[in-house]
Structure 1
Amino acid sequence: MNKNRLEAFSDGVLAIIITIMVLELHVPTEPTWHALLEEVPTFLSYVLSFAYVGIYWNNHHHMLHLAGRISGGILWANLHLLFWLSLLPFTTRWMNTGDLAEVPVLVYGLNLLLAAIAFYILKTTLLRRQGRDGPLALAMGRDWKGKASPVLYLVGMGVSLVHPALGVAVYAVVAAIWLIPDRRVERFVSRGAEAAGESGPGSHPGSHPASPLH
Structure 2
Amino acid sequence: MGKGRLEAFSDGVMAIIITIMVLELKVPHGERLDALTALIPVFFSYVLSFVYVGIYWNNHHHMLHTAQKVTGPILWANLHLLFWLSLFPFATGWMGENHFAAVPSALYGGVLFMATVAYWILQETIVASQGDNSLLRKALGRDWKGKSSPVVYAVAMVTAFWSPSLAQGLYVLLALVWLIPDRRIEKALAGTGSPAS
State the TM bucket, normalised to the shorter chain. Answer: over 0.9
3-state SS in 1 of match to 2:178: helix
Query: Alpha-carbon deviation of 1:43?
Result: 0.9
Normalised TM-score (structure 1): 0.87
Letter of the 1:116 partner, please give it: T
- Tell me, in whole angstroms, the C-alpha distance in 2 between the residues paired with 1:127 and 1:152: 24
Letter of the 2:165 partner, please give it: A
Normalised TM-score (structure 2): 0.94
Letter of the 1:137 partner, please give it: R
Query: Alpha-carbon deviation of 1:74?
Result: 0.6
Higher helix share: 2
Deviations 1:43-91 (A, max 9, x none): 1100100011011101100110111111111100000000000000001
1:34-183 matches, within 5 Å, as 34-183=34-183
Letter of the 1:108 partner, please give it: Y
**Stretches (4+) displaced over 4 A:** none
Letter of the 2:60 partner, please give it: H
Ranges in structure 2 where 5+ consecutive residues have no aligned partner: none
Percent identical among aligned pairs is: 56
3-state SS in 2 of match to 1:31: coil
3-state SS in 2 of match to 1:66: coil
- Higher mean alpha-carbon deviation, 61-70 vs 185-194, is at 185-194
Over the aligned positions, Cα root-mean-square deviation in angstroms equals 1.5
Deviations 1:144-188 (A, max 9, x none): 111010010011112111121211111111111000111111222
Q: How many positions carry a matched residue from both structures?
A: 195
- Tell me, in whole angstroms, the C-alpha distance in 1 between the residues paired with 2:31 and 2:77: 47
Ranges in structure 1 where 5+ consecutive residues have no aligned partner: 196-214
Give the number of the structure with larger relative contact order, counting CA–CA contacts within 8 Å between residues 6 or more apart: 2
Deviations 1:98-125 (A, max 9, x none): 2222111111100000011100100010
Q: Of the two, which has the highest radius of gyration? A: 1
Query: Alpha-carbon deviation of 1:28?
Result: 2.4
